[in-house]
Structure 1
Amino acid sequence: MAIIGKKIGILGGGQLAQMMTQRARQMGFHVTILSDDKDDPAVGYANSWIKGKIYNEDDILKLARVVDAITLETEFIPARTIAKGLGKTKTRCVPKLDHLAILQDRWPQKELLWDYQIPTADFIKITGKDDLEAAYKVFDGELVLKKRLGGHDGFGTYIIKTKTQFELFKRTHKNLETQFIAEKLVHFKSEKSLIVCRNSKGDIFMYPLLNSLQKNQQCFRVWGPDHHPALNDLTKKITSLLNHIDYVGLITFELFDVGSKLLVNEITPRVHNSGHITQDAFSFDQFEMHLRALADQTFPLEVQSTKTFLMQNIVGTSTRKPAIEVGLQGKLHWYDKKANKPKKKLGHINYFGNSLRSLVTLADYDLKKIKC
């Protein structure tokens, strides 16, 4: 039964929660944020705020008692912690906790892809030092070691191309090997993403394939729509997976384009940085689609998009107060963060038009007008 007009709780108060809250309020929801600080970006847009830790089951219970459903802006809150926090309340979580438990750990996530024959890089579970040595040999000295829990934006990821790098990893992670999985290093042409949403009725919506450019292991720029000969087969397998496990909510598949194939690098069970372009280039954005799934609502019959679109991330490079000149050529979305530091996501700018080349020119022009 739809819960439109009722109460939603969000675990976290960052920029993803901020944008979700803005859309939820427009849709008629009452939003409560659980976060550490009243100055967190989402708090000023919410109906109410609970001060607390998103990793604390007692604080989660405080939120669960005053809302009908909860969702989250980070997939790294342990599913068991959320389950304990929900306790005996009737409050539900989107995504479902059993799905979250699988997807927040890179090992069962990779197993899920394998089970549904979805292409991904070859991988090995590290259960001890012997597995680590075996992975180095099997992958011919070129591998990626990824932390199973909590890694993002390059944190917890180690690219190994030389014996020296491998030996350094072994020294710095002695007795911590089992926290990682090993993957074959993929030499890809480009990175892409596919954003999908499914509701409890089994309706599935997919945004067009997106291109993304990474700098310093962070998303720098996203554009589209894109096409690939392997996309049709991939979407069929993803649809089968989501229907079989009865997934509900938005989910993003981060991809490597290796030429004839699209390999799934990671799965992210939430609204996604690459999806921020949907705020302006589409008639329905990723935040509304996720909220519709959460509320058991139907999806729109038609979602229109502009011909060409581009999103430019704005990331801190210092601790100084950001300065933005007037007259930007794109639509600015600012996150209202109270502090700046290198690699901190501060905002993004959306562009849309008829020519990708012209949008790149506009984004490059605007970046020169931003000092952060």
Structure 2
Amino acid sequence: MTVPVPGATVGVVGGGQLGRMLAEAASPLGVEVVVLDPTPDCPACPPAADQIVGEFDDRDAIRELAERADVLTYEIELADPEALADVGDEHDVPVHPSPGTLETIQDKLVQNRAFADAGVPVPSFRAVNDADDLEAAFEEFGRPLMLKQRTGGYDGRGNAPVETVAEARETFDGLDGLVAEELVDFDRELSVIAASGDGETAAFPVAENIHEAEILRESVVPARTSERVREDATAVAENVLDALDGRGVFGVELFEADGRILVNEVAPRPHNSGHYTIEGCHTSQFEQFARALCGLPLGDTTLRQPTVMANVLGDPDAEERPAELAGVTSALRDDRIALHWYGKRDVRPLRKMGHLTVVGDDRGELLMRARAARDALSFNQ
């Protein structure tokens, strides 16, 4: 199904930075974005045409969104798949990716089972609901293992390596509703942004992701690994798309371990590690998202040049306060640096406030330049 372009309206549950960048990318196509978010004047404003203020699971608000949209989507996994499905059916408005895909992704155990059943390589896993389950997981996977909340976790939150039942109880405030995975001794973390359109798919170049304290700090593209590994990562991402339903853009997080590729997690939306595509590729992940949602042909995902993206995060030890960014002039003295500010009014520890991108030739040099530009930035006390 193709929606009318120009003149289409995309209704988005969630109005954070992803909704903001989607609205920026959709505008040149003649596509308007209306967002639903509980925070008045959310980050997606003003690029979005309008905002409906409401909770992500507010059915009346979702109905109002559907009445104004040609297609519904979401940029946050806290969206309610049942409400989206019901309202979409009531108003004959398609929802992409499908509510069933969102439901699968929201539960890490269900997600792992779906991928394992589809032949997608994932770490060994098992459900944990009590101490006996966890002891059985230790017996099978060894110590430490990775323990994850089945629902509600994001940006590394709700995930932790544990070695004992007591540590797990303290970390997770109980043992119900968890999934245990083997702790993968990986060489590097990778990701692939892959798009599913109207009868076609397209994958962006493989990114190498550098994390600290479970938070993404930088992405380097192309990933500094072998061509075979990059090809395998792309193939696994395409297999993930086959296992999910609906049009859209998906962030496929991967481990490279001894030349093998394993899926860590999947986001049914644009992904932080794909922000490099705005400057780095012929089509950004956000334009691709708009194209896919509207049933338009997918764009060219070719990398223009090697690219590095660096996140701008809140200071880890600072208290929450109004966001006042200093040092922009110094950061932009490197004339290849691009700054993206997310429009969040308050900064708090490790909150994603923006990102920097630099494009060039040598990935090691680009990484140093991106870090230097980021280090020039600070949040006023």
Query: Would you say same fold, with TM above 0.5?
Result: yes
Are the structure 2 counterparts of residues 82 and 138 from structure 1 closer, same or farther at C-alpha, using a change threshold of 3 Å? same
Q: Could you say what secondary structure the match of 2:303 adopts?
A: coil
- Give the C-alpha shift of residue 114 in structure 1: 0.8
Give the corresponding residue for 1:192.
Answer: 190
Distance in 1 of aligned mates of 2:100 and 2:367: 41
**Counterpart in 1 of 2:211?**
214
Judging changes above 3 Å, is the alpha-carbon distance between structure 1 residues 93 and 368 closer, same or farther for their aligned structure 2 residues?
same
Q: Secondary structure at the match of 1:54?
A: coil
Q: Report deviation, 1:266.
A: 0.6
Change (3 A) 1:285 1:148: same
Q: 1:18 — aligned with what?
A: 20
Contact 1:72 1:270 in 2 (8 A): yes
Q: CA deviation at 1:60?
A: 1.1
Measure, in 1, the Cα distance between the counterparts of 2:368 and 2:242. 41
Structure 1 window deviating more from structure 2 (339-348 vs 31-40): it is 31-40
> 2:357 & 2:136 partners in 1: Cα distance?
45
Bigger shift: residues 268-277 or 50-59: 50-59
Residue 177 (structure 1) aligns with: 175
Matched, 1:322 2:325: yes
Distance change >3 Å, CA 298–CA 93, structure 1 → 2: same
Q: Distance in 1 between matches of 2:91 and 2:194?
A: 29
The amino acid of 1:293's aligned partner reads A
Hey, what does 2:260 align to over in structure 1? 261
* Partner SS for 1:177: coil
Counterparts in 2 of 1:169 and 1:64: CA distance versus 1, 3 Å: same
Match of 1:239 in 2: 238
Deviates more, 1:360-369 or 1:260-269: 360-369
**Counterpart amino acid of 1:266?**
E
CA–CA separation in structure 1 for the residues paired with 2:51 and 2:159: 34
1:361 shift after superposition? 2.4
8 Å Cα contact 1:58/1:85 also seen in 2:
no
TM-score normalized with structure 2 length:
0.90
Match of 1:360 among 346, 351, 367: 367
Q: Which amino acid aligns with 1:283?
A: H
Q: CA deviation at 1:367?
A: 2.2
Matches within 5 A, 1:1-372: 1-3=1-3, 4=5, 5-86=7-88, 88-160=90-162, 162-163=163-164, 166-170=165-169, 173=172, 176-201=174-199, 203-226=200-223, 227-228=225-226, 229-243=228-242, 245-300=244-299, 302-317=300-315, 318=318, 319=320, 321-327=324-330, 328=332, 329=334, 330-372=337-379
- 8 Å Cα contact 2:192/2:233 also seen in 1: no
**Percent of aligned pairs sharing the same letter:** 29
Counterparts of 2:87 and 2:55 in 1: how far apart (Å)? Answer: 11
Is the contact made by 2:145 and 2:182 (CA closer than 8 Å) also made in structure 1? yes
- C-alpha displacement of 1:237: 4.7
Q: TM-score, normalized by length of structure 1? A: 0.93
Aligned positions, number? 366
**Residues 241 and 188 (structure 1), Cα distance of their counterparts in 2 relative to 1, 3 Å cut:** closer
Alpha-carbon distance in structure 2 between the residues aligned to 1:171 and 1:364:
35
Question: Displacement of 1:118 after TM fit?
Answer: 1.9
Letter paired with 1:212 = N
Distance 2:89 2:296 in 1: 26
In the TM superposition, what is the alpha-carbon distance from 1:363 to its structure 2 partner? Answer: 1.6
Structure-1 separation of matches of 2:301 and 2:259: 29
1:68 CA displacement: 1.3
Distance 1:340 1:158, change over 3 A: same
Residue identity opposite 2:367 in structure 1: V
In the TM superposition, residue 244 of structure 1 has moved relative to its aligned partner by 5.8
In structure 1, runs of 5+ residues without a counterpart are: none
Per-residue deviation, 1:246: 4.4
Taking the aligned partners of 1:81 and 1:349, their CA distance within structure 2 comes to: 36
Deviations 1:109-139 (A, max 9, x none): 1012211222211100124432122112222
Asked whether the equivalents of residues 306 and 353 of structure 1 are also in contact (C-alpha less than 8 Å), the reply is no
1:103 Cα offset (Å)? 1.5
Pair 237,346 (structure 1): closer, same or farther in 2 beyond 3 Å = closer
Contact 1:250-1:271 within 8 A present in 2 as well: yes
8 Å CA contact 2:209–2:219 kept in 1: the answer is: yes
Per-residue deviation, 1:241: 4.8
Measure the CA separation in 2 of the matches of 1:241 and 1:190.
20
5+ residue gaps in structure 2? none
Q: CA deviation at 1:17?
A: 0.6
* Offset from partner CA, 1:262-296 (integer Å, 9 cap, x none): 11111111000001000001110001111111111
The 1:194/1:365 distance shift into structure 2, 3 A limit, reads same
**Where does structure 1 differ by over 4 angstroms across 4 or more consecutive aligned residues?**
171-174
Post-superposition shift, 1:231?
4.0
Letter in 1 for 2:196: R
Shift of 1:253: 1.1
Contact 1:76 1:149 in 2 (8 A): no
